[in-house]
Structures are given as C-alpha cells and as structure tokens.
Amino acid sequence: DIQMTQSPASLSASLGETISIECRASEDIYSNLAWYQQKSGKSPQLLIYAANRLQDGVPSRFSGSGSGTQYSLKISGMQPEDEGDYFCLQGSKFPLTFGSGTKLEIK
Amino acid sequence: EVQLVESGGGLVQPGRSLKLSCAASGFTFSNYGMHWIRQAPTKGLEWVASISPSGGSTYYRDSVKGRFTISRDNAKSTLYLQMDSLRSEDTATYYCATDYYSSFAYWGQGTLVTVSS
C-alpha cells in the first residue's frame, strides 16, 4: 500500500498569513494527488486535484504543487473560513490512501 | 447541481448486515466511477470501495474484502454498499463520492453506521 505522510499534524496561523501543508508518498504517485478541506460535522470538500488543479469554486488563495512523492498545499493569506481539517489523497493505486490530516486553526 | 444522498445507516449488532444506498442527481450517473469512503468518530478518512461507471470493475480495501459488496443501478442513479459480517471496527460515517481525475469530487452528507451489541 502507498503510505501518505502528512505534516504538520496541527497548525495555527494568523489572518493573512501564508501557510503550507505537505504530503509525502511512499512511492511515485505521478501527480495523482488531491487536497480536501473538512469543517466540523461536514463532508470533505475537494480543493485541489491532479496535484495543482483548482476545483471550480475554490478561492484562488489555495494552490497545490509537487510531483513524484512530494506535494504541498499552500494557502496564501489565511482567512477565518479556512479553519478546519485538511487531508491529502493519493489516487494513483488501490487501495487509495489518505494522509492523516492537518488541523488548521486561527491564531 | 450535483447531489448525493446516502441512506441506510443505523445501529446494528456485530455479525449482522446492512445495506447503504446513495441516490445521485444533477449529473449523468452512468458516466462516472463512484466510491465509498468512511470516517470513524474523531478519526481520519478511509477509502472503502470503488466501482467503474458500468459496474464491471470493483475494488475493495483488504479489511472489507469478502464482507462488503459495492454495486450500482444506473437506471436508478443509485450506488449501493452491502455490508455483511459487520464488526465493531466498521463503525463510521459512510460517504459516497463521485470519481474525478483520480479524486473524489462530490460527496454526500454521510450516513452513520454503528456496530455494537
């Protein structure tokens, strides 16, 4: 199985701050990487797919990058509504696997 | 507007069965692969099973293989998950989701399955 190592586990950011979350795959996943935001009690929402493609309706302050085994999600200018849990997903090979999550809070 | 509505969750004893449904609307259901994903209380996300647009190909995580069956009825735009021999570790909120570029684009609101005596 492909292991997804996500870091950090938690993050506290000030309004307007730029933050990054990382995911490292245990093998090459060929940019089959997606990022999700999940708010408390809600379903996850797709932010980024294919490593760097912004899902329709997602604010442009979210961006994704990476290739091979290393990927990152950047939020350029933290907003109050960005609080929540963030997960990466590798869609390269079954079983599909998620990162362990990052809890993002406002400082 | 894409809508996915799960149903069928509830409290069930270990060893018993449950069948989840996911009613889809707002898109051409038969064109898309579909997935089931679960999330145990206060835990992370875990992929459970996937099915191709035609239903001809299915995939499962090892821990549910032989116990769970994913299926679909394209005429009814409905996805199913038959869960047999349920265990306490299957307790989770179960989400259905559409496939999109090897990711899960749209998710339902989830249905809670609790396996307990």
- pLDDT at residue B51 in the model: 98
Interface contact A84, partner B, CB < 8 A: no
- The span from the CA of B42 to the CA of B29, in Å, is 31
Q: Using alpha carbons only, what angle is made at residue B5 by residues B4 and B7, rounded to the nearest 5 degrees?
A: 145
Asked whether the beta carbons of B48 and B54 are under 8 A apart, the reply is no
Q: Is 90 exceeded by the pLDDT of residue B114?
A: yes
Put simply, the answer to whether A43 touches B110 (Cβ < 8 Å) is yes
Sequence-distant (6+) residues with CB within 8 A of A56 are none
Confidence of residue B22 (pLDDT cuts 50, 70, 90): very high
Chain A residues whose CB is inside 8 A of the B101 CB are: 34, 49-50, 53, 91
DSSP assignment of B33-69, as one string?
-EEEEEE-TTS-EEEEEEE-TTS--EEE-GGGTTTEE
Handedness of CA B53, B56, B59, B63 (dihedral sign): positive
- pLDDT at residue B43 in the model: 87
- The span from the CA of A35 to the CA of A55, in Å, is 10
Q: Is 90 exceeded by the pLDDT of residue B109?
A: yes
**Mean pLDDT, residues B29-41 taken together:** 96
- At B49-97, the pLDDT tens digits run 999 999 999 999 999 999 999 999 999 999 999 999 999 999 999 999 9
Put simply, the answer to whether B103 touches A98 (Cβ < 8 Å) is no
Put simply, the answer to whether A43 touches B109 (Cβ < 8 Å) is yes
Q: Which two tokens stand for residue B59?
A: 């995939």
- At A8-62, the pLDDT tens digits run 999 999 999 999 999 999 999 999 999 999 999 999 999 999 999 999 999 999 9
More confident residue, B42 or A68: A68
B30 in helix, strand or coil? helix
Chain B residues whose CB is inside 8 A of the A5 CB are: none
Residues 85-114 of B with CB under 8 A from A: 95, 100-110
Handedness of CA B43, A21, B37, B97 (dihedral sign): positive
Q: Which two tokens stand for residue A96?
A: 């599909």
Q: Is 90 exceeded by the pLDDT of residue B42?
A: no
Q: Is 90 exceeded by the pLDDT of residue B102?
A: no
Asked whether the beta carbons of A52 and A71 are under 8 A apart, the reply is no
